[in-house]
Amino acid sequence: MSDTIIGAVREPRRHDSGHKHVSGQAVYIDDLPEPVGLLHVYLGISTEAHARVTRIDLDPVRAAEGVALVLAAADIPGENDISPTHRHDEPVFATDLVEYAGQPIFAVAARTRDLARRAARLAIVEYEPLEPVLSVEAAKKTGKMVTEPLVLSRGDAAAALQQADRRLSGRMEIGGQDHFYLEGQIAMALPGEDDEVTVISSTQHPTEIQRMVAHVLGAPANAVTVEVRRMGGAFGGKETQGNLFAVVAAMVAKKTGRAAKARPDRDDDMIITGKRHDFLVDYDVGFDDDGRIDAVEMTFAARCGWSSDLSGPVTDRSLFHADNCYFYPNVRLTSEPLKTNTVSNTAFRGFGGPQGMLGGERLIEEIAFATGKDPLEIRKRNLYGGGDRSLTPYHQPVEDNIALEIIEQLEESSGYWRRREEIGAYNRESRVLKRGIALTPVKFGISFTATQYNQAGALVHVYTDGSIHLNHGGTEMGQGLYTKVAQVVAEEFQVDIDRVKITSTTTGKVPNTSATAASSGSDMNGMAAQAAARAIKERLIDFAAENWGVPREQILFLPGRVRVGNQEVAFSELTLKAYNARVQLSSTGFYKTPKIHWDRDTGRGRPFYYFAYGAACTEATVDVLSGEYRFDRVDILHDVGNSLNPALDMGQIEGGFVQGMGWLTMEELWWDEKGALRTHAPSTYKIPACGDRPRVFNVEILQNGQNREDTIYRSKAVGEPPLMLGISALHAISDAVASVADHRICPRLDPPATPERVLMTVERLRAASREGAS
């Protein structure tokens, strides 16, 4: 008998579908065999950003070859609304008003996808244009918001700013980001009996899809089953943005009695669906001559787009992370979730947190230039500490702070100070190429800020042969959640992981689930699956104690077997015997995150169960003649608590960093003056390619990490936090750029730091430097 099982927790286990991914056997929704008679659905969308619709003539669409059905607002059996926060501000199809270029007006279902796309072009829609509100700045003037703003405050920021030794203010623009999941949005609906429908949807949130489909069909939730085995990437872009495609496919399926599939092409996907919010941040900071912060006032104005979607919680989270790792003695933070005539921005890895953190890091940078000190010194000086320096702007004390430990380790391992010297010497000699370095930390709060979402369910069956069927509410988007949860169950029963069958997420098995989001997937579903496994284990122990007449404490689950007193029985033998004795071998499991509470009205509470930490040190070389740059070296030290699976966690850290780096450097969304998105394909919207990754990339997981809270095997969430390590890339470029003015002027380099923007910043600094000298 083996002494260990294969696939225990902590094992750097490969992704459960890896062998299928590499051989083309992993099935995504578009790869499923199509039922006979399947209809392909395509959307007809608005060409105007803001207009009254004066005429919609869909007859030419209906008359087109192969068309089986055309659907517009009047054809919706239930409610014409898919607002995830139930504000009734997101119609499936526009009626008399369109509010962004790309807004769906109708859908057409045809025999082939090609015919559906061609037919969709034939609609006659006439508009009476209205003035569109496109930018954050324009929206600020209107003051129109999609949801209620939030204020977080502690102390008297206004008074403290007045009294501060030094004070400065500024404004920062932060760009948005397209998710660019490789598998685009897709849903396939299969009609059932009576009011029933099954929707296979590429979604992070099957329960939400179920709710929306029921809502739009005018059916109860129990008529709708939603299933997803895997997504080809999601990153938040499939938390609510799959709703539209799922409800449209479901309506076609119910109305025609035929299966229906909706898959936009890449350009339409980018034009129709929401993205990361872009922000305009106004800041005012007071500090002393040593660079210690006294007071902070910041306003985070976000371009939310035409509907609220998740913009409320996203902009809330930007405030929750505006402090990053730093203590603000007096603080007032305000969100402005502004309405614009652009796509409705949505969840994206970090969920507003990264934008908040960027604002906080800009303060540090400003103070460093104002005091003539190294930014790293300013960072360390302002970290949360013990005693009266531990309270966040939302009045939750930081109790698990390891930021300083991580920074100091990385400072040492990356050779920050030595390289700082070398870079200074290099820059004095080099005219065209300038190098820069930055070490930035991350503290990220873990939990959904809406307390009710912090619950999860699982379902575990043990069959008489000892094989195990695992289901839970979490979804697999590549992050390896299915593998981690299966490791938990294998560990609990002490069986090899190949005895645990990982099954598709479906609302029919585990109901009322939360989105796989907020980095909470393994924390919550791991705990729920553990609870289910333990319930069955308890019954097996009771049975064994009675059957063999031994005390419960003498029953031990060993690898592949169970010790019962002085004898050992195979796990499969025990399960068969238990079945014969009529022991229930199936259980649900449930988990709700403890300790958390949040009162939005007072801005006080404990929204986060714990914090995850990390830090990155990036070195960049900038060509100051062209504005182009490269990342020469990145060192990362990241905290994942006591890792459930270090291999998967490393993947999240590496991928998160590069995605964050892409957001802040090369990924630029561009809307024209009429509000049409002009960067709607990878030809114009550039995400990092292999050549863009750092030349040297040293990634380490913090050794001996522990979660001080009682999470699943004391691990920590890892989905979102590493994205914010990418902030160091922006600051490294900024540091290089600053050298053209001898580090006397804060570059105020706003992301995305495209080569054009870098070049403009270089020119601005040079001009200011000349002025200052003359």
Partner 1 sequence: MTITVNMTVNGKDVSAEVEPRTLLVQLLRENLGLTGTHVGCDTSQCGACVVHVDGESVKSCTLLAAQCDGGQVTTIEGLADGDTLHPMQEAFREHHGLQCGFCTPGMVMSAIDLVNRNGAPSETEIREWLEGNICRCTGYHNIVKAIDAGAKSMGG
Active site residues: 720
Q: What's the min distance (Å) between Cβ of 19 and partner 1? A: 6
Near partner 1 in 223-282, by CB under 8 A: 230-235, 265-267
Among 30, 79, 156, 405, binds partner 1 (CB under 8 A): 30
Residue 629 interacts with partner 1 (CB under 8 A): yes or no = no
Among 20, 501, 597, 744, binds partner 1 (CB under 8 A): 20
Q: What's the min distance (Å) between Cβ of 684 and partner 1? A: 10
Nearest to 190 by CA among 28, 29, 26: 29
**Residue count at the site for partner 1 (CB under 8 A)?**
57
Residue 594 interacts with partner 1 (CB under 8 A): yes or no = no
Among 6, 10, 14, 156, binds partner 1 (CB under 8 A): 14
Measure the CA angle with vertex 119, ends 115 and 121; round to 5°: 130
Residue 97 interacts with partner 1 (CB under 8 A): yes or no = no
Among 18, 77, 385, 772, binds partner 1 (CB under 8 A): 18
Kindly give the interhelix angle for 521-548 and 481-493, rounded to the nearest 10 degrees: 20
Q: What's the min distance (Å) between Cβ of 266 and partner 1? A: 5
Q: What's the min distance (Å) between Cβ of 294 and partner 1? A: 39
The DSSP code for 715 is B
Query: Which range, of 57-65, 153-161, 471-479, 571-579, touches partner 1 by CB under 8 A?
Result: 471-479
User: Looking at beta carbons only, is 21 or 86 nearer to partner 1?
Assistant: 21
Residues in Cβ contact with 152 at an 8 Å cutoff, skipping those fewer than 6 apart? 319, 320, 331, 332, 333, 393, 394, 603
User: Looking at beta carbons only, is 263 or 339 nearer to partner 1?
Assistant: 263
Among 651, 721, 747, 752, binds partner 1 (CB under 8 A): 651
User: Looking at beta carbons only, is 179 or 757 nearer to partner 1?
Assistant: 179
618, 629 Cβ separation under 8 angstroms: no
Give the number of other CB atoms < 10 A from CB of residue 604.
16
Near partner 1 in 478-517, by CB under 8 A: 478-480
Nearest to 529 by CA among 447, 454, 459: 459
User: Looking at beta carbons only, is 281 or 650 nearer to partner 1?
Assistant: 650
Q: Alpha-carbon torsion 211, 215, 220, 226, what sign? A: negative
Q: What's the min distance (Å) between Cβ of 659 and partner 1? A: 7
One DSSP character per residue, 511-551 reads -SPPPS-TT-HHHHHHHHHHHHHHHHHHHHHHHHHHHHT--
Query: Which range, of 9-17, 301-309, 333-341, 700-708, touches partner 1 by CB under 8 A?
Result: 9-17
527/545 Cα distance (integer angstroms):
26
Query: Which range, of 24-32, 306-314, 430-438, 570-578, touches partner 1 by CB under 8 A?
Result: 24-32
Lookup: tokens for 424: 């200074």
706, 713 Cβ separation under 8 angstroms: no
721/198 Cα distance (integer angstroms):
35
Give the number of other CB atoms < 10 A from CB of residue 4.
11
Among 681, 708, 744, 760, binds partner 1 (CB under 8 A): 681
Residue 17 interacts with partner 1 (CB under 8 A): yes or no = yes
- Would you give the end-to-end CA distance of the chain in angstroms? 83
Near partner 1 in 183-222, by CB under 8 A: 183-184
453/471 Cα distance (integer angstroms):
19
Query: Which range, of 426-434, 436-444, 472-480, 668-676, touches partner 1 by CB under 8 A?
Result: 472-480
Q: What's the min distance (Å) between Cβ of 695 and partner 1? A: 9
394, 320 Cβ separation under 8 angstroms: yes
User: Looking at beta carbons only, is 113 or 604 nearer to partner 1?
Assistant: 113
Among 73, 130, 221, 687, binds partner 1 (CB under 8 A): 687
Residue 594 buriedness (CB in 10 A; 0-12 / 13-18 / 19+): exposed
Among 4, 27, 142, 763, binds partner 1 (CB under 8 A): 27
Assess whether the previous peptide bond of 752 is cis (omega < 30° from 0).
yes
Name the β-bridge partners of 200: 188, 227
Residues in Cβ contact with 305 at an 8 Å cutoff, skipping those fewer than 6 apart? 100, 146, 274, 311, 339, 340, 342, 343, 344, 345
Residue 682 interacts with partner 1 (CB under 8 A): yes or no = yes
440 three-state secondary structure: strand
User: Looking at beta carbons only, is 266 or 743 nearer to partner 1?
Assistant: 266
The DSSP code for 38 is P
Q: What's the min distance (Å) between Cβ of 676 and partner 1? A: 18
List contacts with partner 1 (CB under 8 A). Answer: 14-15, 17-28, 30-31, 33, 179-184, 230-235, 265-267, 477-480, 647-648, 650-651, 654-659, 681-683, 687-691, 693, 697, 699
